[in-house]
């Protein structure tokens, strides 16, 4: 309620009331503020109940005094000042700050949208401009778009909605290398973390235009690296995997992976990662095999810069018949994979190699003998002791399959024979390493003899390796009696796992 200070001649506006919650304080609303402003303007700065009367007996009985005289110009200025004072009294500092911040945010967004619209407008063809001038302007616009979309997810979405993708894809038809590179990296940034943009890029024919570029013959490395990066980004979307795999991009990616050059190490890594994305789709594996990828993968194992990327690709490839056949046909494939099992400083590689061998031993029965000849048993036994939990689990699964294979071979050699121990005799030359010979039995088949010899040799190798890793002194090294069983020692006809 308003009061008039007669001493100072100024209006005093008291804003007393209760909030909706029942507590004291100023209740700010549009209606209340409007009434106060009208009171200030109409009553000469003194807020009174100017228009409220009491209804009784068919007429109004108000308590309003005589109307104030018309204000002069100086009084109007004072009233506007008092009006601002009323506004300030009603709005707290926080509310004023929020209003200013909202206005600033709105202004900033408007300017950002105008900037994005300008970039997209500059991507389109320029009427009346020459080819070189037009390409230069579009290249500049593509580079600006690449910068805007690099770290701003909202800008990527807005640019795509404004129609930036079609003109960028159209630029890929140009023969100017700089324009191609600028458009490729602009498309790459538009697809970062945005599956809708990746789908849109593929939908307007970007993949086929990229394949056309790399099929022209000699392609500059700047263009090749940009194309590989785009294939990597686009292949991350499951819906694009089959289209990219069948487009003719696989041979180009394989060729890029074969280039071992420190100057192009990033392109090689991008290529193997893109091949991994494509290998996840089983329908792409035949294309990968036909491109000669499997021998290249096995040959790259040992290069620690790419081994952790190569083995997961091989894990996906062996999930198909074509992939397993390609591994079998590659010379020394099992020896390479078994050697990885001994990489104690690379547990991830051990796990991936164990997975490849586990799939091979489960799916291809004819390859188990080759694995045993490559020394897989001793490596698996060691892995079950010192490997990671996942590697131990996979190694145990492989050993179980090999044990079942050994029992099957022995049962075929001795139909109806019980699973009893076969005596082995061990002899050692004076001062020489222990030698193990299998006692000949009537009717012993070659398969059984070979299995027994492999088992004994694996036991010896594993014992030596475990003791060597334990750093035992020489006097505790395996003796002849430990390494070679006596005449009375026995070994199961199945592999001792």
Question: What are the tens digits of pLDDT across the range 323-380?
Answer: 999 999 998 999 999 999 989 888 999 999 999 999 999 887 777 888 888 889 989 9
Q: Is residue 257, in this structure, part of any structural domain at all?
A: no
* pLDDT at residue 432, as a whole number: 42
The region, left, alpha or beta by phi > 0 then psi within -120 to 50, assigned to residue 332 is left
Environment class of 222 (CB within 10 Å of its CB; exposed 0-12, middle 13-18, buried 19+)? middle
| Residue 476: closest CA among 485, 468, 488, 486 | 468
Q: Is residue 45, in this structure, part of any structural domain at all?
A: yes
Residue range of the domain that includes 75: 1-19+26-51+69-91
* pLDDT at residue 66, as a whole number: 56
Q: Is residue 114, in this structure, part of any structural domain at all?
A: no
Provide CB contacts within 8 A for 84, sequence distance 6+: none
The pTM is what? 0.65
Q: Is residue 79, in this structure, part of any structural domain at all?
A: yes
Domain count, the chain: 1
Q: Is residue 307, in this structure, part of any structural domain at all?
A: no
Work out whether the CA dihedral 336, 342, 346, 352 comes out positive or negative. Answer: positive
Q: Is residue 44, in this structure, part of any structural domain at all?
A: yes
* pLDDT at residue 448, as a whole number: 61
* pLDDT at residue 133, as a whole number: 84
Q: Is residue 353, in this structure, part of any structural domain at all?
A: no
Q: Is residue 297, in this structure, part of any structural domain at all?
A: no
**337 in Cβ contact with 299 (< 8 Å):** no
Which residues of the chain are under the pLDDT cut of 50? Answer: 1-28, 44-64, 410-411, 413-440, 472-497
Residue 422 phi, psi dihedral angles, 5° rounding: -105, 120
Residue 470 phi, psi dihedral angles, 5° rounding: -80, -5
* pLDDT at residue 68, as a whole number: 56
Tokens of 109: 């967004």
Three-state SS across the chain? CEEEECCCCEEEECCCCECCCCCECCCCCHHHHHHHHHHHHHCCCCCCCCCCEEEECCEEEECCCCCCCCCCHHHHHHHHHHHHHHHHHHCCHHHHHHHHHHHHHHHHHHHHHHHHHHHHHHHCCCCCCCHHHHHHHHHHHHHHHHHHHHCCHHHHHHHHHCCCHHHHHHHCCCCCHHHHHHHHHHHHHHCCCCHHHHHHHHHCCHHHHHHHHHCCCCCCHHHHHHHHHHHHHHHCCHHHHHHHHCCCHHHHHHHHHHCCCHHHHHHHHHHHHHHHHHHCCHHHHHHHHHCCHHHHHHHHCCCCCCHHHHHHHHHHHCCCHHHHHHHHHCCCHHHHHHHHCCCCCCHHHHHHHHHHHHHHHHHCHHHHHHHHHCCHHHHHHHHHHHCCHHHHHHHHHHHHHHHHHHHHHHHHHCCCCCCCCEEEEEEECCCCCEEEEECCCCCCCHHHHHHHHHHHHHHHHHHHHHHHHCCCCHHHCCCHHHHCCCCCCEECCCCCC
User: How many other C-beta atoms can be found within 10 angstroms of the C-beta atom of residue 221?
Assistant: 13
Residue found by looking up tokens 């609303």 in the block: 29
Long-range contacts of residues 344-349, Cβ cutoff 8 Å, at least 24 apart: 344/386, 346/304, 346/307, 346/308, 347/387, 347/388, 347/391, 348/308, 349/307, 349/308, 349/311
Q: How far is CA 431 from CA 424, 427, 466, 474, in A?
A: 21, 11, 22, 15
Provide CB contacts within 8 A for 43, sequence distance 6+: 2, 50, 68
Question: What are the tens digits of pLDDT across the range 58-114?
Answer: 444 444 455 555 555 566 566 666 666 666 665 666 666 676 778 777 888 888 888
């Amino acid at each position: 309620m308003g009061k008039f200070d007669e001493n100072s001649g100024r209006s005093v506006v008291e804003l007393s009331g209760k909030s909706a919650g029942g507590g004291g304080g100023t209740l700010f609303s549009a209606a209340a503020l409007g009434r106060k402003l009208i009171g200030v303007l109409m009553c000469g700065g003194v807020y009174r109940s100017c228009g409220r009367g009491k209804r009784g007996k068919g007429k109004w009985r108000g308590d309003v005094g005589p109307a104030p005289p018309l204000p002069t110009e100086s009084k109007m200025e004072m009233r506007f000042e008092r009006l601002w004072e009323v506004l300030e009294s009603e709005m707290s500092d926080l509310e004023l700050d929020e209003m200013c911040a909202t206005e600033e945010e709105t202004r900033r967004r408007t300017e950002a949208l105008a900037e994005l619209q300008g970039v997209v407008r500059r991507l389109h063809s320029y009427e009346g401009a020459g080819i070189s001038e037009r390409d230069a302007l579009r290249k500049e616009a593509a580079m600006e778009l690449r910068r805007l979309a690099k770290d701003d997810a909202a800008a990527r979405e807005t640019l795509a909605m404004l129609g930036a993708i079609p003109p960028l894809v159209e630029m890929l038809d140009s023969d100017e290398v700089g324009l191609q590179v600028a458009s490729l990296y602009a498309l790459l940034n538009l697809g970062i973390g945005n599956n809708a943009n990746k789908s849109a890029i593929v939908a307007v024919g970007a993949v086929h235009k990229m394949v056309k570029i790399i099929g022209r013959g000699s392609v500059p490395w700047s263009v090749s690296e940009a194309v590989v990066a785009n294939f990597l980004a686009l292949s991350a979307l499951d819906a694009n995997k089959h289209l990219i795999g069948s487009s003719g991009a696989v041979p180009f990616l394989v060729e890029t992976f074969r280039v071992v050059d420190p100057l192009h190490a990033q392109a090689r890594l991008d290529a193997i990662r893109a091949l991994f994305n494509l290998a996840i789709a089983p329908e792409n594996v035949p294309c990968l095999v036909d491109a000669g990828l499997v021998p290249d993968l096995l040959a790259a194992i040992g290069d620690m810069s790419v081994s952790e990327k190569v083995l997961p690709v091989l894990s996906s490839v062996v999930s198909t018949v074509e992939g397993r056949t390609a591994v079998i046909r590659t010379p020394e494939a099992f020896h390479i994979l078994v050697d990885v099992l001994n990489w104690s400083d690379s547990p991830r590689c051990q796990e991936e190699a164990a997975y490849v061998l586990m799939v091979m031993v489960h799916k291809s029965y004819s390859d188990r003998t080759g694995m045993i000849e490559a020394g897989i048993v001793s490596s698996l036994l060691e892995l079950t002791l010192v490997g990671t939990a996942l590697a131990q689990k996979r190694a145990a699964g492989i050993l179980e399959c090999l044990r079942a294979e050994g029992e099957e071979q022995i049962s075929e050699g001795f139909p109806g024979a019980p699973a009893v121990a076969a005596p082995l005799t061990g002899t050692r030359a004076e001062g020489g390493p222990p030698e193990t010979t299998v006692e000949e039995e009537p009717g012993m088949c070659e398969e059984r003899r070979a299995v027994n010899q492999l088992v004994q040799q694996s036991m010896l190798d594993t014992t030596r390796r475990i003791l060597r890793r334990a750093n035992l002194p020489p006097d505790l090294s395996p003796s002849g009696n430990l390494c070679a069983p006596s005449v009375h020692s026995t070994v199961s006809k199945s592999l001792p796992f």
